[in-house]
Amino acid sequence: MTPSPLEPRSDLRFVPSVPVALGMAILAGWIMDFGFPDRDIWPLALLGLLLMLWSVRGLSLRRSLLVGAVGGFTFFGILIWWLTVYLGLIPWIALTLAQVFFFALGMGLVGLAWHYGSRQWPGLAGRLVITPALVGGAWMTREAVSSVFPFGGFAWARISQSQSESTLAPLVAWVGTSGMSFVLAFFVAFLLALVTERRIAWDAKATLAWATGLALVIWPAWPVTESGSIRVLAVQGNAEAGLFADYDWGDNLADHYRVTKPLYGQDVDVVIWPENASDVDPLRYPDAAAVVSEVSREMGAPLVVGTITRDGAETFNSMLMWEFDEASGRDIVRDQYDKIHPVPFAEYLPWRSFFYPLAPSLFSMVPRDYSFGQRDTVFDVAGATAGIAICFDIVDDEIVWAMMDSGAEIIFAPTNNADFGRTDQSIQQLSIARMRAIETGRSVVNISTVGTSAVIDPRGRELDRLPTYEEGYMMLDVPLATHTTPATLIGRTLELGVVGFTLAGIVIGMLGDRSRSLLRRARGSGS
């Protein structure tokens, strides 16, 4: 009788029992967290990934789902603990459980990949290449789905994002964020398959493992071609900008104005303030308009400033490029970007009529629903094209791809991290910004109300950085670039290709298993 994927496998070596698998998953989730900032011990992310993939190797689908749920809760529960700082346990539990759901499904898919890959392609190439590729693809597929679904997804904690400080980081410029997750998961699954392979001597195994790892480590960085520079002044006002902060209306604006004013007369091309830096909308309130106009006039440069704007009944989380035009003597809003994907359950409440009655006291913390912006994602600043990514925008592949399609030569990433205090959240976000810099070959100016603020060049190197929870500024020449990385060209296609390959491989394995079962039954009945 042919074993079903709902039953444990017996033809794979070193298959853990369920109690051992559960322990491995818990350990794996904890170890993977150490690979992410701020601990940033990046090899541990790969070790944790190996244990996680191993934990469902040879297990039934039901058991893989269980093991995946336990591992997912450990990993996400630790990694996003920062959500509890201001919002408490319930939002943390809700987001963690949502990610656990997708993580469990993903590990179920990984289990199916191990199962059908080992049966459909039993040869050496199948065991060492095809099956690990299916396993890596299953892992990446889970990340890709949870990054966009539901409500725009939560594109956080992808395994590739753990490698921002590693020697493997240059790979992201070749294959993109999703593609790098696939490469890492494939590599780890390959090592596991290699170690458990019966037909290869241990010295040959060691040689293959070292050669493969060395190839990843020494893979060349994509050559960066700078096309000039732009002189940037980025201001961190150390404002009390948190959701429940005790501040008076206009304090955020005053904080950033106070830091900027002593710099009047400095030669810069653009001044950048963070998300929510002006808590008074200068489009509606003349006093706020007078402040931002003064900054632009005295600096002789446009001011890119975050504020909350309104258009009729709609409210937007916006960045304005405000400039005092000396020729006309008037204030001009040169451009505006309205956040395209507001954060669900933070900047808007999806299905409000359904969710709000379930927990009115909790969802009262989301008193208004920001609208979804329709404007493009780039500004023309001092003759250069700047991509704009507000806060969590930086994790959104579609937004990054859109700004690259529009010719972005530099990325401005204004953010407000005050709601998360002195936790790992801001440094995790900065690591994602660093990977985006390498992936796109573009400098990233990551400027926050309270930190972590830094300027990153197209190679992923920090050019400047500000201490958290201190007012300050960064003023420097930031490189521009117009070249195209392979990730920019093929990132979307590669992601879809890997998903298609993975699903097709598992389906082919299912059909092959079914065909073999029917054939054996026919032979049995014939005899």
Q: Residue 169: what residue type?
A: A
Mean pLDDT to the nearest integer, 389-403 = 95
Confidence of residue 11 (pLDDT cuts 50, 70, 90): low
Q: What is the pLDDT of residue 7?
A: 46
- pLDDT tens digits, 32-67: 999 998 888 999 999 999 999 999 999 999 999 999
**Average pLDDT for residues 382-389, to the nearest whole number?**
96
Between helices 397-405 and 486-526, what is the axis angle to 10°?
A: 130
Q: How far apart are CA 118 and CA 126, in angstroms?
A: 7
Neighbours of 327 (CB within 10 A): 5
Q: How many CB atoms lie within 10 A of CB 152?
A: 18
What pLDDT does 9 receive? Answer: 44
Quick one: pLDDT at residue 6?
47
Distances (CA, A) of 140 to 296, 323, 362: 45, 44, 33
Instruction: Characterise 235 by phi-psi region: left (phi > 0), alpha (psi -120 to 50), beta (else).
Output: beta
CA distance 318 to 314: 12
Pairing of strands 454-456, 462-465: antiparallel
pLDDT digits (tens, 9 = 90+) for 176-221: 999 999 999 999 999 999 999 988 999 999 999 999 999 999 999 9
pLDDT digits (tens, 9 = 90+) for 309-324: 999 999 999 999 999 8
Q: Quick one: pLDDT at residue 475?
A: 98
Architecture of domain 226-484: 4-Layer Sandwich (3.60)
Cβ count within 10 A of residue 221? 15
* Confidence class for position 70, pLDDT limits 50, 70, 90: very high
Once rounded to an integer, what is the mean pLDDT over residues 256-278?
Answer: 97
How far are the Cα atoms of 380, 427, 431 from residue 31, in angstroms, in the given order?
44, 18, 18
Domain ranges of the chain: 18-222+489-509, 226-484
Q: How far is CA 69 from the centre of its chain?
A: 21
Q: What pLDDT, on a 0 to 100 scale, did the predictor assign at position 198?
A: 87
**Could you read off the pLDDT of 279-297 as tens digits, one per residue?**
999 999 999 999 999 999 9
| Overall average pLDDT of the 513-524 stretch | 79
> Could you read off the pLDDT of 471-496 as tens digits, one per residue?
999 999 999 999 999 999 999 999 99
Residue 82 pLDDT greater than 50, yes or no: yes
Task: Tell me how far CA of residue 85 lies from CA of 80, 89, 363, 366, in angstroms.
Answer: 10, 9, 17, 16
The reported pLDDT for the residue numbered 244 is 66
